[in-house]
Chain A
Amino acid sequence: MGMYWSVGTVLLLLAITAPVALAFGFGGAAAARSHFLPLRWIGKAYISVVRGIPDIAFFLFFVIALDQAFEYIRHRIKCPDWDEPIRQGSDFVVCTAAKLPQGNAPQWVHETYGFVLAVLTFAIVFGAFAANVMYGAMQAVPKGQLETAESYGMSRRQTFRRILVPQMWVYALPGLSNLWMVLIKATPLLFLLGVEDIVYWARELGSFKSPRFTDYPHAEWRMWYFLALLVFYLCFTKLSEIVLAKIMARLTHGQATAAGEAQRRAQA
């Protein structure tokens, strides 16, 4: 049964990660456009650092790093009078009260904690990609629109909220839909983060015994399992393509772009 649940895990991860990553991306893009210099540096560094390095390295890095960061913060709060160093040789030692999750916590807490870490990791990495896309989209909104808003006496904040943000989506959507595809295709990496996803089950079920020494009643089945996964992902991306094309058509409606103009002509 666990195997079928794992498909749900993947879908749940997608459903949670996508909005969180979008929020991270929005924050990153807004920071990179900020007039406050340090904030702009942070935004730009976030975008370029995460993008220049293989994402899988980030997945492996953040899971440990986030875990240790949380435990360290809790450690500072809960045990202020602890005098031993945190790093003792190859060990990372915090007081027992700061352990996450607590040693006596039930199994589902451990699993949920792992899942939350995975979601955060995905959101940080894909947030950077999304920030890149949205930064470009904000730049792509015609200057005339922003200048008109200014000439109407709107403040910077008003211009941002009323003019820039509603118009940027049509420019951001091609990049974001590309990103959604990338996100779907990154979900198998979940199993590297220790979450029981669909890839995990293939390995788990296949490795009851060393495959070399067992006589399977059937032929090597993991090939077919992965073939099924391939087909699953193919269908999923195809479906997303169709849905995203619909959204794009709707967003284009009434926009000052070539596609919007073509739509207007077709209706007229």
Chain B
Amino acid sequence: MTCWETITAYGLRSIGIGEQLLPRSDFTLCQQFTLIGSGMIWNIYFGVFALVLGFFLATAVAMGKASKSFWLRKPSEWFIFAFRGSPLFIQFFFAYFLFLSLKGQFPFFTPLTSAAYGALFVLFLNTAAYTGEIFYGALQSIPKGDIEAADAYGLSGFTRFRRVIWPTMLRLAWPAYTNEAIFLFHATTLAFFGGFPILKQRGDALYYANYFADKTFNPFVPYPILAGYFILLTLVVIGLFGLVNTRLNRHLPQERHKKLRIKPQVIR
């Protein structure tokens, strides 16, 4: 099989299109690159959707945690604590078995027992909690003068939030949020190793890398391939977030305009 044929056969294997039978022996480099790359579809799917959905919930949670009302503040605090304080891995397991037992009573939960929706749901809540904490920290450090200026212009309520507080919060939170995005993509590899089942060997990149490492008993090929894909993905994330950062800071004087410096600290 030439490399091109391998790519057409296995390129979309992880979502069930193309050749169903995985290679069993005589693995070529091309097969490993193609299948692991195909698995990346899942990682990107989980990461992108969880980020986009989580962003909105995170804003709400951060506002809730910063609010004066007891009934808004306490649930937000508990939400953030629960998801930041426990391992994502256990969250996956718990969610899977929770959905499994709920499924018996409410058919509504059936789709959530599959990795595609259930794991996404867990990742969504998880990233919302982490991001919520970042946004909350940013809300706390909005310069007092900005808010006073908004008051002086007669802005209040939602207008003040939309035009002053929210953009400033995003600007302050953006470097940390970029980190969170990078680590979220890393966390997506856990989805198929936590309880959620893999149907017909349609797994993510780590699943295929693990498959090859188990079959060939040689970890020195598949895992570096996986690592290469993730470094590429990280660079793309940094690039995209850098663009948004430039836009968020576009009104600032250009020479003071700091470039987004990514110093990935551990967040999770």
Could you list which residues of chain A lie within 8 angstroms of chain B, going by C-beta atoms? 49, 51-57, 60-61, 64-65, 68, 87, 89-92, 129, 132-133, 136, 175, 178-179, 182, 184-189, 192, 199, 202, 219-220, 222-223, 226-227, 229-230, 233-234, 237-238
Specify which of B90, B101, B223, B266 is in contact with A182 (CB 8 Å cutoff).
Answer: B266
- Knowing A51-B264, A57-B189, the reply to whether A185 touches B217 (Cβ < 8 A) is no
Cβ-defined contact, A226 with B93, below 8 A: yes
Cβ-defined contact, B86 with A233, below 8 A: yes
A186 to B268, CA, bound (A): 9
Q: Which of B7-15, B59-67, B206-214, B241-249 touches A?
A: B206-214
Is B56 an interface residue, CB under 8 A from the partner? no
Which residues does chain B contribute within 8 Å of A220, judged by CB atoms?
97, 100-101
Is B143 an interface residue, CB under 8 A from the partner? no
A189 to B206, CA, bound (A): 14
- Residue on A nearest B95 in the bound complex, by CB: A226
Could you list which residues of chain B lie within 8 angstroms of chain A, going by C-beta atoms? 25, 81-82, 85-91, 93-94, 97-98, 100-101, 186-187, 189-190, 193, 206, 209-210, 213, 215-220, 223, 226-227, 230-231, 234, 263-268
Cβ-defined contact, B223 with A223, below 8 A: no
Smallest CB separation, A96 vs chain B (Å): 17
Cβ-defined contact, B87 with A91, below 8 A: no
- Residue on A nearest B213 in the bound complex, by CB: A64
A220 to B189, CA, bound (A): 27
- Residue on B nearest A234 in the bound complex, by CB: B85
Cβ-defined contact, A64 with B217, below 8 A: yes
Cβ-defined contact, A87 with B218, below 8 A: yes
Which residues does chain A contribute within 8 Å of B87, judged by CB atoms?
184-188, 233
Which residues does chain A contribute within 8 Å of B268, judged by CB atoms?
182, 185
Which residues does chain A contribute within 8 Å of B220, judged by CB atoms?
65
Q: List 25 A-B contacts (CB under 8 A).
A: A52-B227, A52-B234, A54-B187, A54-B230, A56-B186, A56-B206, A57-B226, A60-B213, A60-B219, A60-B223, A61-B223, A64-B213, A90-B216, A90-B218, A91-B217, A92-B217, A136-B263, A175-B266, A178-B266, A179-B266, A188-B89, A226-B93, A226-B97, A229-B93, A234-B86
Cβ-defined contact, A238 with B93, below 8 A: no
Cβ-defined contact, B223 with A234, below 8 A: no
- Residue on B nearest A92 in the bound complex, by CB: B217
Smallest CB separation, B72 vs chain A (Å): 22
- Residue on A nearest B264 in the bound complex, by CB: A51
Which residues does chain B contribute within 8 Å of A53, judged by CB atoms?
186, 226-227, 230-231
Which residues does chain B contribute within 8 Å of A51, judged by CB atoms?
264, 266
Specify which of A175, A179, A234 is in contact with B82 (CB 8 Å cutoff).
Answer: A234
